[in-house]
Structures are given as structure tokens and as C-alpha cells.
Amino acid sequence: MQRFILSKKNQITLIGAILLVIGYIARFALENIAITNGAFFIAGVIGFLPIGIQAYQAIKVRVISIDLLVTIAVIGAFYIGEYEESAVVTFLFLFGAFLEQRTLNKTRLAIKELTEMVPETALKQMDNGDFEEVDIWDVDEGDILLVKTGARIPVDGTILVGQGNVNEASITGESLPVVKEVGKEVYAGTILENGTIQVRADRIGEDTTFGKIIELVEEAQDSKSEAERFIDKFSKWYTPVVLILGIIVFLLTRNLELAITILVLGCPGALVIGVPVSNVAGLGNGAKNGVLLKGSEVIQDFSRVDTVVFDKTGTLTIGNPEVADTAVYDNDNLDNIFAYIASVEKESDHPLAKAVVDYIGESKAYPVTNTKVIKGAGIVADVDGHRVAVGNLALMEAEKVVISDKAYEDLKRFEEKGNSLVITALDGELKMLMGIRDQIRPNVKKDLNKLKKLGVRNLIVLSGDNQGTVDVVAKELGLTKAHGHMLPEDKSEYIKKLQAGGQIVAFVGDGVNDSPSLALAEIGIAMGSGTDVAIETSDVVLMKSDFSHLAHALGLAKATAANMKQNIVIAVGVVLILLASVFFSDWMSMSIGMLVHQGSILAVIFNGMRLIYYKLR
């Protein structure tokens, strides 16, 4: 029965709310005392059941919880006929517990989604030399596996035969595929976008890089202890003091009503609602402004953050590579060159090719023949009687294209900006150079300055991209530190070092590879356009992927945390004044005490509601 009642706490809370509404309608509209008292009495009884059970279970393990104080206060209210107080207190207490629990236990879903990204089977080379599909757990270190176009690589290993473009976004978070050839290392969970390769299994199962990501998420989530809220700590001495005070008063005066009055006056009505109302108002403001804050525990931790660590791609940058710089070496024939380039690049599904086609836009389309894709270099084809080569410097060298000193200077300048290079030659002559890179989100620097004004001392970027590109981004945005070539485990270790140094860290990311860091940091912040895994693992979600909302989220967390403390001070202060008034005044009575209690509840509610209109100044 106890288990059944506790499993229906949400339904009991809803019923209590309905009965409270009925009671107040009966009092003020119908002026029917019988219905009023009946509604309040029933609401108090059903609301008391789960609270009393929780108090009993806490006592069994020798824990004096706030449930016990509420239980005794409600019993006292029933004894002296204050059914309204019992109904209101039980509802507020259950509603506060509901608000606290609604967003918990979601992050475990991330583990399931991660594991589903690991291939369940692999093409393994058998003794006769043929490849057969086997269960992934039947693969041993040293086995030779075949990976075809579009398949996920099942192990960490080394390429023995073949080459192709591998999308490593699940590991590094970078959107551009990486050219992999014989001797190069590949990672489990990454996707072979084109080509066919044979891989020697070097690490399998949980030992793979992707397996370590899953393990890191699990460990980080387990290591995040749920800090006890101030109210629970306060109740460790508050509850016994009030109980002892009531007992002492009864023993000295033999006045049971006075003793119960003390317990009722000590009832933490405003204390119970103070934190939840601030929490609800803060969460409501955040939701209105595209920020999801997952509970009051998150708000408290977020308000103390002094270091923010960013992933680069999809976070500081848009995550969609675009042509950023161009150098033209034949302006007289530019339209035709654009048309030739677009015609050739439409033959490729490479992200750089897509960026080039998007940049050129509408152009004349020519038939393309004799297309030849040179893996890791580019593409060569015949267009309108011309030989067109589009690719990197290695392709130009293979095509014996002469690169002038001016062009070499442009190449170096583009690379220093963090660009990926796309060079075009027509009939062996250099015609155009394009620099393609992921664009920094608009107004990011302005938003980062807002974070500094809110007390963030360190702004750090960690990325799987090359160090040069990361340095360019860091310099442009004025970041404290920048580190490139970082795998997920490297990011996690870096965050651990920051935490060991006493820094309170928030991590901002959007990819599966960011999940361990999001879980490990005191506050994980995910962009709403990111993966479901990142969103589930995080504590804060910027729902519209609007980076400008990050500063608002931090400012709101600080304001909400301060508001919670204010409400606690108001609630505790009122209780202390009421208890003191019982002994040191002649005017204090039960009715006056109840009136002051209701006033304190309204005070904390109105104080909390100020957060609904919070704006970052």
C-alpha cells in the first residue's frame, strides 16, 4: 500500500489542487462552510498520506527529514481544526517535490542512444580469405575486417588495403570528412562515406574510442552527486528544535493547544514553496527565452560557474562549411570558370564540393565526361572541351599546374586563416583558389563579453580540428585558451584538470563526441540543434541554438539562485518571529499566526514572480 500511494504522488497533488480550488470557491463564492471545510479536510488527508509515509520511512533509517516536520505540523493543524492550513501545506510540499523530480533520470537515455550507434555486425575475413558477416562480439584483435561505402567502422584499427573519406563527427565533432589511406588509424562508430577499406582490428568493444565515450558518460553521470539543498540541511536542526520546543512547552505548561500552536507556527509553509516558486519562475523565463534549465540543482550549480569550455564546430561556429575567401587568377573568363567548377563539383557529394556549389549559385550547366575522382586530392573531368581539375595542392602537382609566387602567398594566407583549400585549374593553368571554413556564429564575441561581465573568468575552446584553425577562432573571439587535435577523452581529462584546480566548469557542445564532457562538467550546455544524446546528457539546452541565449541563461541562473536565498530568508525569518512572539508578546494568537503565515507565502510567491520578467541588463 505504501508503494502504491507513493507511486500516485502526482495524481494526489492534482487532486489536492482541485479540492483547494473547490474549497476557496465554496468559501468566497458560495459562502458554504460545510463544502469549504470538507474540501480542505479531504485535500489535507490525501495530501498527508505520501508525506507521512516518507516521514515514517526516513525515521526507520534514523533520518529526521523535513517530511517529519510537515507531518507533525499537519497533524497539529488537524487537531485544532485548521483544515485549510493542512490542505495548503500538503499541496505545496507535494507540488514542490514534483517540480524537483520532473526532469531527473533523463540522462540515462543517452547511454542507450550511444550504444545504438555502434555496429552490431562486421565483415570478418575467414581462413579461406572470404569475408563473412559475424556478430561484433566475435571479432578479436588482429582480425581483418571489410568496410564498404556508407558503413560504420566497427573497431579501432589500421587500414591495410584501400582508402576513402571518413566522417569522424561522432568522435571529433568535425563536419568535414578526413581522407584515410593505408597505414592510417580509423575509429569505431565513424562512417566511411566513400571507398572500400580493409581494417586490422587493434581495439575492440569497450576498448575502442567510441566505447570509451560511453564509459566516460556513465562515469561522469555517476560522479555527479546530487547536492543536498539548503532546506534539507536546515531541517536537520530546525525540525528537532521545533519538536523539542513543543515538547518542552507542553511539559512546562501542560497546555496541549499551546504546544500544537508552536508546531503549527513552526510549519514551513513559505519555506516549502519559496524555492519551488523561484524555480518555476526561473524555468518559465528560460523557456520563454529559448533556454531549458533542468531543475533547481542545475540553477544553483550554473550560478557559480567561473569557467566556460566550448566545443568549436556547431557551437562557436555554425557547423556548415562555406566559402570564406577567394583569389581569382583569370578575371576575363570568370563566368565560364564558375560554370565549369559548378558542373564538376555537382558530380561530388563531398562537403567542400557542396560549399563550392552553394557559393557559385545559379550558373550554366555543362555536360561532364571522363570524370575521375582522385581520393584525397580532388576531381578531374572534361567539360566543354576543357580539362578541369578541382582539388588540393597535391592534385595540382599531379596535373603539373604551375603555381606562381603570388598564388603560393595566397595559399599560405588562406591556410593561416584556418581554411580548407579548393584550387581550380583549366587546361593545366591555375584559375582560382577558394578558402572554405566553418563560419563563426554572428555576434558571438559580443555574447562572450557578456559572460565575462557575469563573472566568467576563463573562456576556453577545445576542438578536434587542427590547432591552426582553432587558434584563428580563439584569436578572433578573444578566448582565454585554445586547444586543437583533441579526442573526447582528451577533452574530459582537460575538464578534470580544471575541476581539480578548483574551477567550476560549464561545457558547451552539440555532438555525440561532446557527451562525456557535457556529463562530466558541473554544467553541461547543449545547442538545441545538436544530437539527442548531447541534449539528454546536458543540464542546460539552448533550444533555438541561439548562442546569445547563453548569457541570458547564466544571468537568469544567478538571479534565480539569489531569489531562492531571499525566499528562504523570508520564510525562516517569519517562522522565527512567530515562534518568538508566542513567548514575548501578548498579541500573538493562532489566527494572527496563520494570517502571517499566509502573508509570508504570498511574499515569497510575489518575490519569485519577479523572475518571470527578468532580462539581462
Active-site positions?
A: 311
List, in order, residues 6 or more apart from 528 with CB less than 8 Å away.
290, 535, 541, 542, 543, 544, 545
List, in order, residues 6 or more apart from 149 with CB less than 8 Å away.
164, 192, 193, 194, 195, 196
Distance separating alpha carbons of residues 312 and 303, to the nearest angstrom: 23
Phi, psi values for residue 276, rounded to 5°: -60, -40
The DSSP string of 120-143 is SEEEEE-TTS-EEEEEGGG--TT-
Residue type, position 443, single letter: N
Neighbours of 617 (CB within 10 A): 5
List, in order, residues 6 or more apart from 552 with CB less than 8 Å away.
289, 291, 615, 616
Angle at the Cα of 461 (from 456 to 462), degrees rounded to 5? Answer: 135
Grid coordinates belonging to 388: 578541369
Q: Where does 160-306 have alpha helices with state H?
A: 169-172, 209-223, 230-253, 256-265, 269-288, 296-303
Distance separating alpha carbons of residues 8 and 58, to the nearest angstrom: 19
Task: Tell which residue, 261, 257, 424, 432, has the closest CA to residue 332.
Answer: 432
> Cβ(255)–Cβ(249) under 8 Å?
yes
Sheet holding 420-426, edge to edge: 317-328, 429-440, 420-426, 386-391, 378-383, 368-374
3-state secondary structure (DSSP) of residue 104? coil
3-state secondary structure (DSSP) of residue 397? helix
> Cβ(46)–Cβ(7) under 8 Å?
no
